[in-house]
Amino acid sequence: MTIKDLAIKTGYAVGTVSRALNGHPNVSEKARTAILAAAQECGFQLNQNAKQLKQIHSTNILLVVKGTRNDLFAEMIEAIQGLVAETPYQLAVDYMDEDSNEVLRALRLIPEKKPLGILFLGGNTGNFAENFAAIDVPCVLVTSDASQLPFENLSSVTIDDRQAACEALELLISLGHRHIAVIGGDPAISDTSRLRMDGCLDAFRSRGIPFDPEKSYRAVRYSYQGGYEAAQDLLSQGRSFTAIFAAADVIAIGAIRALAEQGLKVPEDVSVMGVDGLPLGSYLVPRLATVRQNVRDLAKRSLQVLLAAIEDSAPARHEIVPYAIVQRESIRQK
Amino acid sequence: MTIKDLAIKTGYAVGTVSRALNGHPNVSEKARTAILAAAQECGFQLNQNAKQLKQIHSTNILLVVKGTRNDLFAEMIEAIQGLVAETPYQLAVDYMDEDSNEVLRALRLIPEKKPLGILFLGGNTGNFAENFAAIDVPCVLVTSDASQLPFENLSSVTIDDRQAACEALELLISLGHRHIAVIGGDPAISDTSRLRMDGCLDAFRSRGIPFDPEKSYRAVRYSYQGGYEAAQDLLSQGRSFTAIFAAADVIAIGAIRALAEQGLKVPEDVSVMGVDGLPLGSYLVPRLATVRQNVRDLAKRSLQVLLAAIEDSAPARHEIVPYAIVQRESIRQK
DNA sequence: TTGTAGGCGTTATCAT
DNA sequence: ATGATAACGCCTACAA
């Protein structure tokens, strides 16, 4: 079943059928209803291969997701899908490995999807600095800051990771903790990890608390196992800390497990705080204290910025959206 | 950059370029290396739209995933991707809403992707009974049993959900529990839910333990919140049970939270057991007892069955893969 | 408003 | 082994 068949069936020409199906103007009401009805009847669907092959500009917005096993991104994707559904655009989601180059990936996808704009969920500014120049459609980098990059078509929407980490640490400090271990990502690899680590250092410095990264910082993958192993390692040096700050909720969960295996209770013996605000955290016992990224907000602002760039040729913007310090059962006064 | 450009650049005709790029026979070694080198040099990539538009048979295997937010499936997808990477085939993953019709979805995808075979991750046999007849490529339904369906091109690979639930219940019973509440999916909607519920009933019956579904069974969505609300509801009727069997780990986690809010500890006051064997479960405190579905096994067998059907025209098979009862900290002797 | 026809980049079928 | 060429299904000028 092709539009040619539909044309024969309805008595119109393929051009008219195509226009009707795509909601173009210059189609009589009569033709439109007849064609749409016929299409409906046979469950007809345009062949996307042919469509995208021919189209100059698609009506696609491309969502490039870096990291397939990331609960925060999963939530965000759902939110973005919901929002895009209310627009005349189509969302094409592309999942990629956490350690491949998202910009190069986008570059290969562009001639195929011909997107009007691209949303990057996660990304490394280094990759952008190196390869983004070849991309000429409006883009938004979500969850990282691109304001330092010299690209006129690259916006960004993120929380202030550095300040968020700093504020989380300040909460722990204000609860009386002085010896705080930090488990995060590798600051050499991920911008976010570096910023969150810097935020921690800011807090220690401003409060005049000494912090030796060598002894109290561990760089791991954002995973349960990463948090688990890091906490084990920290504990193997003797428990000098009364609190752990984890740069992600999943890390915190792994760390809590490691503590439990040493007979340490949360929060009685050690306070633990994460980042992200995953739904899971509020079901754990104890509920996990965290820095919540407002998923809906992040999604909404990102799409708004992108659509403004696409529809109104608005210049690039670099937005900081608010986060929320969520004080819950896993932390307490020392 | 198209194969036409490549043809000009290398001095060969487009046909030869296409054949070389696709590893067809009847291409001289000289031509192949020259063309591949040129392609490499310009970072050339075939346009998938054009390719799939023209191809009679693709080299695609289609993976239709029902439910976007399902940790078990996420694991399985990863496993399948890894396995397919070792074959000459390409995996095309399609995610869909939990409550849309996976068979109809596949039906629309076929003319576009022209897959050699389809793997359904999750699915409702009702939908298959109704619409599968129109699909003529080999298919495998994973995590549900299709042996009762009259289709020669539909295989299935699953655990024995009924026996698994029964065995889990028997474990709880052998630990001395007599009043066990069950939280599962809606047996009217999902095959898996019905089978797991039936398994529970089997266990109660064979042990001569009375069970009133009205009072002790709750049907919810497979989510933290579903488990949480169901447990709250059960508790609101007074705590007559000493154990909860949840038909999914996520449900169990939600239920544990609800128990905690009533001051009930797991496993001291109530034992809780789930199903799936998510990695998360082994990091929780207490570690979650569960029925583990062996993801790698499920993935491997499914793909083997599909490839046998594709490559050797093997008849449909209906495989039952083993599960494992994982006794962990969240359950104990009553 | 509608019809016609050319071409998007590729594969596949012919010849050569 | 290679080259030329007709599709694949659709969109989009352009003509009517």
Smallest Cα–C1' distance to nucleotide C8: which residue has it?
Answer: A54
Asked if B200 and B182 count as a contact pair (C-beta separation under 8 A), the reply is yes
Could you tell me the distance in Å between the CA of residue A20 and the C1' of nucleotide C8? 21
pLDDT tens digits for B69-94? 888 999 999 999 999 999 989 999 99
Mean pLDDT, rounded, for B167-174: 98
Q: What is the pLDDT of residue B124?
A: 94
- Location of structure tokens 């570096």: A194
Mean pLDDT, rounded, for B161-167: 98
Dist CA B217 CA B182 (whole Å): 5
Terminal Cα distance for chain A, rounded: 70
Which DSSP letter does residue A276 get?
B
Mean pLDDT, rounded, for B19-31: 91
Q: What are phi and psi of B117, to 5 degrees?
A: -165, 165
Q: How confident is the model at residue B211 (pLDDT cuts 50, 70, 90)?
A: very high
Q: CA-nearest residue of chain B to A68?
A: B74
Tell whether omega for the bond before A286 is within 30 degrees of 0, i.e. cis: yes
Q: How confident is the model at residue B97 (pLDDT cuts 50, 70, 90)?
A: confident
DSSP per residue over A183-234, as a string? EE--TTT-HHHHHHHHHHHHHHHHTT----HHHHEEE--SSHHHHHHHHHHH
Strand C interface, A 19-58, C-beta < 7 A: 19, 25-28, 30-31, 50, 53-54
Q: Chain A neighbours among B 203-232 (CB < 8 Å)?
A: 224-225, 228
Nucleotide nearest to A14 (CA to C1'): C3
Dist CA B118 CA A238 (whole Å): 53
**Is 90 exceeded by the pLDDT of residue B239?**
no
Strand D interface, A 40-69, C-beta < 7 A: 46-47, 50-51, 53-57
- Mean pLDDT, chain B, whole residue set: 95
Q: What is the pLDDT of residue A239?
A: 86
Q: What is the pLDDT of residue B143?
A: 96
User: Under DSSP, is residue B161 helix (H, G, I), strand (E, B) or coil?
Assistant: helix
Dist CA B170 CA B176 (whole Å): 10
Q: CA-nearest residue of chain B to A257?
A: B283
Distances from the Cα of B117 to the Cαs of B64, B137, B148, B151, in angstroms?
11, 5, 20, 14
Smallest Cα–C1' distance to nucleotide D2: which residue has it?
Answer: B16
Distances from the Cα of A331 to the Cαs of A89, A155, A268, B67, in angstroms?
44, 36, 8, 34
Q: Is A134 on the interface with B (CB under 8 A)?
A: no
Dihedral Cα B4, B7, B12, B14, nearest 10 deg: -30
Asked whether the beta carbons of residue A285 and residue B53 sit closer than 8 angstroms, the reply is no
Distances from the Cα of B207 to the Cαs of A28, A316, B251, in angstroms?
71, 68, 25
CB pairs under 8 A between A and B: 74
Q: What is the pLDDT of residue B61?
A: 95
Asked whether the beta carbons of residue A224 and residue B280 sit closer than 8 angstroms, the reply is yes
CB < 8 Å & 24+ apart, contacts of A98-103: A98/A66, A98/A67, A98/A68, A98/A70, A100/A66, A101/A127, A101/A131, A102/A64, A102/A66, A102/A127, A103/A127, A103/A128, A103/A130, A103/A131, A103/A132, A103/A135
Rounded to the nearest angstrom, the minimum Cα separation between B272 and chain A is 14
Q: What is the pLDDT of residue A246?
A: 98
Could you tell me the distance in Å between the CA of residue A329 and the C1' of nucleotide C13? 71
Q: CA-nearest residue of chain B to A48?
A: B112
Nucleotide nearest to B52 (CA to C1'): C10
Q: How confident is the model at residue B334 (pLDDT cuts 50, 70, 90)?
A: confident
pLDDT tens string, chain A, 334 residues long: the values are: 899 999 999 999 999 999 999 999 889 999 999 999 999 998 899 999 999 998 887 889 999 999 877 889 989 999 999 999 998 898 999 988 888 999 999 998 998 888 999 999 999 999 999 999 999 999 999 999 999 999 999 999 999 999 999 999 999 999 999 999 999 999 998 999 999 999 999 999 999 999 999 999 999 999 999 999 999 999 999 888 999 999 999 999 999 999 999 999 999 999 999 999 999 999 999 999 999 999 999 999 999 999 999 999 999 999 999 999 999 999 999 8
At A49, list the tokens.
């291969």
User: Under DSSP, is residue B308 helix (H, G, I), strand (E, B) or coil?
Assistant: helix
How many other C-beta atoms lie within 10 A of the C-beta of residue A16? 22
pLDDT tens digits for B41-63? 988 999 999 999 998 888 999 99
Q: What is the pLDDT of residue A42?
A: 86
Nearest to A105 by CA among A116, A94, A115, A114: A94
Distances from the Cα of A180 to the Cαs of A58, A168, A172, A200, B49, in angstroms?
51, 11, 8, 10, 54
Chain A positions touching B112 (Cβ under 8 A) are 47-49
Chain B positions touching A279 (Cβ under 8 A) are 224-225
Asked if B51 and A52 count as a contact pair (C-beta separation under 8 A), the reply is no
- Location of structure tokens 């154990």: B243
Q: What is the pLDDT of residue A99?
A: 85
User: Under DSSP, is residue B236 helix (H, G, I), strand (E, B) or coil?
Assistant: helix
Dist CA A242 CA A177 (whole Å): 6
Asked whether the beta carbons of residue B284 and residue A280 sit closer than 8 angstroms, the reply is no
DSSP per residue over B20-54, as a string? HHTT-SS--HHHHHHHHHHHHHHT----HHHHHHH
Q: What is the pLDDT of residue A306?
A: 97
Dist CA A188 CA B29 (whole Å): 44
User: Under DSSP, is residue A144 helix (H, G, I), strand (E, B) or coil?
Assistant: coil
Asked if B92 and B244 count as a contact pair (C-beta separation under 8 A), the reply is no
